Structure 1
Amino acid sequence: MGEVTGTRVAPLVALRRESADEAAGALVLLHGRGADEHDLFPLLDLLDPERRLLGVTPGGPLHLPPGGRHWYALGGIPTPDPATFHDTAPRLEAFLDALELPLEKVVLGGFSQGAVMSWAMSLGPGRARPAAVVAMSGFLPRVEGWPLSPERLAGLPVGIVHGSLDPVIPAEFGREAAEVLSAAGADVLRLETAVPHMVDPAWIEPLRELVRKATTTA
């Protein structure tokens, strides 16, 4: 394995969008490779327009070529580089655990690498159950020493959305995730639209409804 060169940033930086009143939960969105904490910040208002939730967009701790922030170095699909993944995962765990709201009130989501890390945090060893997961254009990570437990999300809402024209992470990985989570008993919302590696505006309304239901108590 080649040496990964980069500068780690500690602690994780993050943008916050406060709730309008007392927060009913939190919405945490993780950006993709080479972006940063600003990238998905506009999605907070799109997915939670009434500002019922605390919104948080942390930045990945690695600076790697070709620029921007990263959650791990590329190791292939669906195999993140183990060294950088195992370095980052505990730091993201600590960030989530330090939120003022417990994870069971947090909708955790992300795009591309951010979707991968959302799965890692939701299904990885010793993790608590979030309120819901929103995985946009990602894959279930296969990393030695980081087993996934899909059954942990049984009964919980899970949004899995992907572009059928995605040249970066093929749509088959979104289909695989939907099949695995459905078989594990999760309440899966599956959307696949004819777009490349991007967030399709057509996804916003159904994901907004998923976020609302996941954070509304009877």
Structure 2
Amino acid sequence: MTVEYTVEWTRPESEREGTPLAVLLHGYGANERDLLGMIPGLPQDFTYASVCAPVAMGFGAYTWFDLDVERLAYSSDAARGAVEDLWGWIDSVRSQHTSVTLIGFSMGMAIGTSLLRTRPEAFAAMVGLSGFAVDPDRGEGLPGYFDDAALTAQQVPFFWGRDQEDPIIPQEMVDYTHQWANKTVKLTKVLYAGAGHGVVPQEIAHVNEFLTAEVLKA
């Protein structure tokens, strides 16, 4: 069954052709409007598409897949299903654009890195904010699904911003993500003291510089 996504676009369809696309993926319990405040601080050459996760939680909150918030535990099959569904949407819009870049916050970073690890050649770059990469060994649905060898060969530019004292993402997930990123992507990692589980203005400025250098001027 095709998933119908709610998407906030920064350009009308008639003005998207030939622009680079940046796909914004929000975190757990948010919606497609959550990351829009970042866009004025990012390069305006892009068309930005902020996608709402499909699983409704009530009161305007959504998730990409069911999550045990206490332990940040999830079903690998559910995560894989969310990635497959999102590929359907990306493939339906990508032909209009010169490139596709992913920007994911928290759980949105988990979804974005999972997309990146299935078809790394499809993306110009990725930005991960206050999130994590999915460990495929945590469950039955993902071992063998990711192609990290292809990602390593591709060396996709990857910006990872976070606060060392982030109160939400467990240290074991940070450690796994750090180990994974060091081996597979062209990593730019920056720590932001005081950001907590959020995004600060300095970080947005750094993401602006990253997107300009790695996508627009590449």
TM-score between the two structures when normalised by the length of structure 1: 0.81
How many residues of Structure 1 are paired with residues of Structure 2 in the alignment? 207
Aligned to 2:180: 180
Contact 2:19 2:98 in 1 (8 A): no
Deviates more, 1:60-69 or 1:199-208: 60-69
- 2:26 pairs, out of 24, 28, 31, with 31
Identical-residue share of aligned pairs (%):
22
- Residue aligned with 1:99, SS: helix
- 2:101 pairs, out of 96, 107, 119, with 107
Matched, 1:69 2:65: no
Flag structure 2 segments of 5+ consecutive residues without an equivalent: none
Deviations 1:193-212 (A, max 9, x none): 22311112221122111111
Aligned to 2:141: 145
* One-letter amino acid of the counterpart of residue 86, structure 2: L
* One-letter amino acid of the counterpart of residue 33, structure 1: Y
Aligned alpha-carbon RMSD (Å): 2.9
Q: 1:208 to 1:133 in 2, by over 3 A?
A: same
C-alpha displacement at 1:113, in angstroms? 0.8
Flag structure 1 segments of 5+ consecutive residues without an equivalent: 1-7
Q: Distance in 2 between matches of 1:33 and 1:21?
A: 28
Contact 2:24 2:103 in 1 (8 A): yes
C-alpha displacement at 1:216, in angstroms? 2.2
Q: Distance in 1 between matches of 2:174 and 2:188?
A: 11
Matched, 1:214 2:207: no
* One-letter amino acid of the counterpart of residue 30, structure 1: L
What aligned pairs does 1:1-218 form with structure 2 within 5 A after superposition? 10-18=3-11, 23-48=18-43, 51-64=44-57, 68-75=61-68, 79-101=73-95, 105-124=99-118, 126=119, 128-143=121-136, 144-146=140-142, 147-151=145-149, 152=151, 154-170=154-170, 173-174=173-174, 176-184=176-184, 186-194=185-193, 195-217=195-217
